[in-house]
Amino acid sequence: MQSLLASGRVYLQDLESENAPNPKGDHVGWLDNDVALLHPDAAFGAAQKLAQEQGEFIVIGQKALWPRIKDRGFLIGSDSDRNLKRETIRGKRPRVVKIPSRLLRLDAEDRA
């Protein structure tokens, strides 16, 4: 995801201001202070597309990926029966993958 963000192929929108530092590419989620809220299908799809373009394949599906991320302690909260968290975003309640933005190298000074 880091290389996708850095290259401008995808972007994250600021949750409060609705701004995006680099609004090129596909929207894959939001930033809320030090937390990235990723739309699971969009983020996984973008990573899968990049891998295919490089002649590689992601050999794990989403249903197996998110539990592994949770097991490693990288998820910030999740609903009790899922590895995703339902959040209110602009009046809607999508399920998102909540991870520390530092994992994407998106700490506050990078967004300024």
- Res 24: pLDDT: 79
- Provide the whole-model pTM: 0.81
Task: Provide the pLDDT confidence category of residue 42 given band limits of 50, 70 and 90.
Answer: very high
Q: What is the mean pLDDT of residues 61-73?
A: 88
Residue 50: CB partners within 8 Å, gap ≥ 6?
Answer: 3, 4, 9
- 1-36, pLDDT tens digit by residue? 888 888 889 999 988 887 766 677 899 999 988 999
Six-digit token string for 66: 């998110």
Q: In the chain, where are the structural domains located? A: 2-111
Q: What is the DSSP letter of 102?
A: G
